[in-house]
C-alpha cells in the first residue's frame, strides 16, 4: 500500500442523514474564523471534498465535516461542513453528528448527564447541550445563529408547474419553502425521486426570480435548497409537521433537516402560526424527528429574526481511514446521472 494521503473518518448519521466527521489527516487550514477556513477549503483544497464525497469513495447521500482548530475564545473546536455542491454556513444534522463524534470518541470530555459546549461553525458560534449516559450521547440540542424570512408568500414561475407560491428563509442555508400539497405531494418515501426533480426546478426558479442577500454577510450563498412542507397538525398538543428538503444537486435529506427546521420556524413565527417557546416537532420523509422551538426574537439587519434551538440524536456507524493511491485514475472521483441529478460535464 502506498497512499499519498490518508484521512481518518468517523461515520455517523443523525436521524438517518449521513454526516461523516474527518478527525485526522487535514490538520489546520489558514483563516482566523471558520468562515475564513471554509473559503480556503473551497478555493484551495476542494479536492478533499471531491475525494470524500464523489464516487468511488463517497456517494451523493453523504456529507463530510472537517474538524479544525478554532481561534474563537468560547469554542472548543471548529468544523467546516462540505456537501456535494457547496460548503454551507451551517447544518443542523451535521452539527449533531460532529458533537456526537467529538464526545463519544473522547476528543472532547463528556460529562454526564449533561455536557455543555460551544463549537464554531462558518455561521458563527453554536452552543450545544448534550444529554449523555453510559458514554453515549443520547441527544444534542444546538442553538442556531438567527433565522429569518426574506420573502413570505412570494410567487415564482416554475417551468412545467406554472405559478408556485414560496416562502424564502435563512436558517443557516437559504431555503425556498413550498407547500407540498400545492405541487401534488404527500411527502411519502415513494415520491423521493419526483420530489428531487421538482425541487430542483423550484430552487432554480426562486434563485433566478427572487433577490436575497444576507445582511450580516453577503458572501453567504443565495437560495440553494428547496423545502417541501406538510400540513401542521397537533400530536398530544404539540405542533407537528412533515417536511422534505432537496439538497443540491438533487437528493433528499434523510433527516428532518436542522437548518431547514430553523428556516421553517422563522416562517411560522413570522406568520403568527408558532409562538416563542412553543414546542415544534419536525418529521422527515422517513419518519425520523427533530424537536425544536423559538427561544427568543431578535433582528438581522431590517429583518425580524428568531433564535431557534433544534434537538436530535446521532449514531456512530464506523471508523475508517480513507486513502489515495497516487496511481488511482479517479483521485477526485466522478459522478454519473443514474444517481446524481447533475453529473460531471
Residues 82 and 118 reside in one and the same domain: yes
Residues 319 and 243 reside in one and the same domain: no
Residues 78 and 111 reside in one and the same domain: yes
Residue 191 lies in a domain: yes
* Residue with the larger pLDDT of the pair 132 and 340: 132
Over residues 95-100, mean pLDDT: 98
Distance CA 220, CA 210 (A): 16
The yes-or-no verdict on residue 343 having pLDDT over 60 is no
CATH number at residue 92: 3.10.310.10
Residues 213 and 132 reside in one and the same domain: no
Identify the active-site residue in 59, 76, 84, 91: 91
Cell of 303: 429583518
Residue 342 lies in a domain: no
Residue 341 lies in a domain: no
Q: How many percent of the chain have pLDDT more than 70?
A: 99
Question: What does the pLDDT read at residue 239?
Answer: 97
Residues 70 and 113 reside in one and the same domain: yes
* Residue 319 · residue 299 · CB < 8 Å: no
Question: What does the pLDDT read at residue 217?
Answer: 96
Upper half-sphere CA count for residue 238 (Cβ side, 13 Å) = 14
Q: Which domain holds residue 179?
A: 147-312
pTM over 0.95: yes
Over residues 6-25, mean pLDDT: 98
Give the torsion sign (CA, 255, 183, 336, 209): negative
In this structure, the strands spanning 114-121 and 77-82 are parallel
Instruction: Give DSSP secondary structure letters for 45-94.
Output: -HHHHHHHHSBTT--TTEEEEEEE----TT-SEEEEEE-SS---S--HHH
Distance CA 266, CA 308 (A): 8
Residue 305 lies in a domain: yes
Residue 340 lies in a domain: no
Residue 126 lies in a domain: yes
Residues 18 and 162 reside in one and the same domain: no
Count of residues for the chain? Answer: 345
Residues 51 and 117 reside in one and the same domain: yes
* Residue 20 · residue 9 · CB < 8 Å: yes
Residues 107 and 158 reside in one and the same domain: no
> Residues 159-171: pLDDT tens digits?
999 999 999 999 9
91 is known as an active-site residue:
yes
Residues 130 and 109 reside in one and the same domain: yes
Over residues 29-47, mean pLDDT: 98
DSSP state of 154: E
The yes-or-no verdict on residue 345 having pLDDT over 90 is no
Residue 236 lies in a domain: yes
How many domains would you assign to the chain? Answer: 2
> Residues 48-87: pLDDT tens digits?
999 999 999 999 999 999 999 999 999 999 999 999 999 9
Residues 128 and 177 reside in one and the same domain: no
Query: What are 312's strand-pairing partners?
Result: 140
Residue 113 lies in a domain: yes
Residues 187 and 268 reside in one and the same domain: yes
Place of cell 468560547: 74
Place of cell 432537496: 246
Distance CA 193, CA 95 (A): 26
Amino acid at each position: 500500500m502506498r497512499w499519498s494521503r490518508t484521512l481518518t473518518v468517523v461515520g455517523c448519521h443523525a436521524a438517518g442523514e449521513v454526516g461523516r466527521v474527518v478527525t485526522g489527516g487535514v490538520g489546520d487550514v489558514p483563516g482566523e474564523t471558520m468562515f475564513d477556513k471554509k473559503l480556503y477549503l473551497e478555493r484551495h483544497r476542494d479536492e478533499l471534498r471531491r475525494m470524500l464525497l464523489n464516487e468511488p469513495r463517497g456517494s451523493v447521500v453523504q456529507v463530510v465535516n472537517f474538524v479544525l482548530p478554532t481561534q474563537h475564545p468560547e469554542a472548543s473546536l471548529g468544523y467546516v461542513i462540505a456537501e456535494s455542491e457547496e460548503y454551507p454556513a451551517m447544518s443542523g444534522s451535521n452539527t449533531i453528528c460532529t458533537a456526537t463524534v467529538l464526545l463519544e470518541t473522547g476528543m472532547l470530555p463528556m460529562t454526564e448527564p449533561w455536557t455543555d459546549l460551544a463549537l464554531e461553525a462558518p455561521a458563527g458560534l453554536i452552543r450545544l447541550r448534550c444529554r449523555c449516559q453510559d458514554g453515549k450521547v443520547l441527544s444534542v440540542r444546538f442553538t442556531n445563529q438567527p433565522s429569518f424570512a426574506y420573502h413570505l408568500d412570494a410567487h415564482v414561475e416554475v417551468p412545467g408547474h406554472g405559478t408556485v407560491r414560496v416562502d424564502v428563509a435563512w436558517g443557516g442555508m437559504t431555503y425556498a419553502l413550498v407547500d407540498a400539497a400545492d405541487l401534488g405531494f404527500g411527502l411519502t418515501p415513494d415520491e423521493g425521486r419526483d420530489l428531487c426533480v421538482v425541487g430542483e426546478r423550484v430552487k432554480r426558479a426562486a434563485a433566478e426570480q427572487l433577490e436575497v442577500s444576507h445582511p450580516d454577510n453577503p458572501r453567504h450563498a443565495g437560495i440553494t435548497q428547496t423545502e417541501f412542507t406538510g400540513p401542521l397538525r397537533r400530536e398530544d398538543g404539540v405542533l407537528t409537521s412533515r417536511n422534505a428538503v432537496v439538497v443540491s444537486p438533487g437528493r433528499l435529506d434523510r433527516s428532518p433537516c436542522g437548518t431547514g427546521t430553523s428556516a421553517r420556524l422563522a416562517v411560522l413565527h413570522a406568520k403568527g402560526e408558532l409562538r416563542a417557546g412553543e414546542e415544534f416537532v419536525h418529521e422527515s420523509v422517513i419518519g425520523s424527528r427533530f424537536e425544536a422551538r423559538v427561544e427568543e426574537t431578535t433582528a438581522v439587519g431590517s429583518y425580524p429574526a428568531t433564535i431557534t434551538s433544534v434537538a436530535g440524536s446521532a449514531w456512530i456507524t464506523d471508523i475508517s481511514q480513507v486513502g489515495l493511491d497516487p496511481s488511482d485514475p479517479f483521485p477526485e472521483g466522478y459522478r454519473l446521472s443514474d444517481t446524481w441529478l447533475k453529473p460531471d460535464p
